[in-house]
């Protein structure tokens, strides 16, 4: 997987899944373009990897804004040329919307925007680069979005993530002829700093490194026959 670049979104805050995925991808020999809403945070994570001898660059972007994504695409192309093979979209967030009869429309719109709209726009923007190299995309769903999940109180989040899973299958079907593979992971609760602080030791968590290994596998040549699949974790 060397001599290729991976775009990793949602890599800014310490102790989150993006940080673990960035470490795993850099350790595999890939150059990594780390994207976060905060360019300062993304650059801090990139500097940590660069200090270890990896090729890494941080970028700030509002992934729900297509104009901002266009500028990001130009900056990544200027830095990494046509070497982009992989996109892993981890940007998003969780908020409980409460029962549908009492739910806030603000939470509904926010969850769709940060989870589904960012995934749609980011894939749309970078597909030409991924297609050029017959690469791979991995999106992040959730077990709350799986058909047999009970999403009481979480309808906005679960529906947004279900949209991500449908988007995964749609792009996989559309891009198969171009050699592009698109899959999603659907974790249960991940042992992130945020989750532990909010929920304590509820156990069992999905470990960060296990998520990173699954994502790296889906981008690797070992998974060349896998596309349009939802991989449940935990």
Q: Is residue 31 a contact partner of residue 56, using CB atoms and an 8 Å limit?
A: yes
* Per-residue exposure over 106-131, b if at least 16 CB sit within 10 Å of its own CB, e if not: ebbebbbebbbbbbbbbbebbbebbe
β-bridge mates for residue 89, sequence order: 9, 139
Q: Is 205 a catalytic residue?
A: no
| Catalytic residue set | 157
């Amino acid at each position: 997987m060397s001599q290729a670049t991976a775009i990793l979104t949602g890599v800014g805050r310490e102790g989150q899944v993006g940080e673990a995925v960035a470490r795993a991808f850099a350790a595999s020999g890939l150059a990594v373009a780390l994207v976060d809403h905060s360019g300062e945070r993304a650059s801090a994570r990139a500097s940590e990897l660069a200090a270890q001898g990896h090729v890494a660059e941080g970028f700030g972007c509002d992934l729900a804004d297509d104009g901002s994504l266009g500028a990001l695409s130009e900056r990544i192309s200027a830095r990494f040329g046509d070497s982009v093979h992989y996109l892993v979209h981890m940007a998003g967030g969780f908020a409980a919307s409460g029962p549908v009869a009492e739910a806030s429309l603000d939470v509904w719109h926010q969850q769709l925007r940060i989870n589904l709209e960012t995934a749609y726009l980011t894939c749309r923007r970078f597909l030409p680069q991924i297609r050029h190299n017959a690469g791979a995309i991995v999106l992040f769903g959730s077990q709350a979005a799986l058909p047999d999940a009970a999403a009481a109180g979480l309808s906005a989040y679960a529906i947004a993530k279900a949209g991500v899973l449908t988007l995964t299958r749609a792009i996989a079907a559309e891009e198969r002829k171009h050699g592009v593979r698109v899959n999603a992971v659907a974790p249960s609760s991940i042992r992130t700093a945020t989750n532990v602080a909010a929920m304590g030791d509820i156990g069992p968590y999905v470990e960060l490194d296990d998520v990173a290994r699954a994502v790296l596998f889906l981008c690797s040549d070992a998974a060349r026959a896998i596309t349009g699949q939802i991989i449940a974790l935990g």
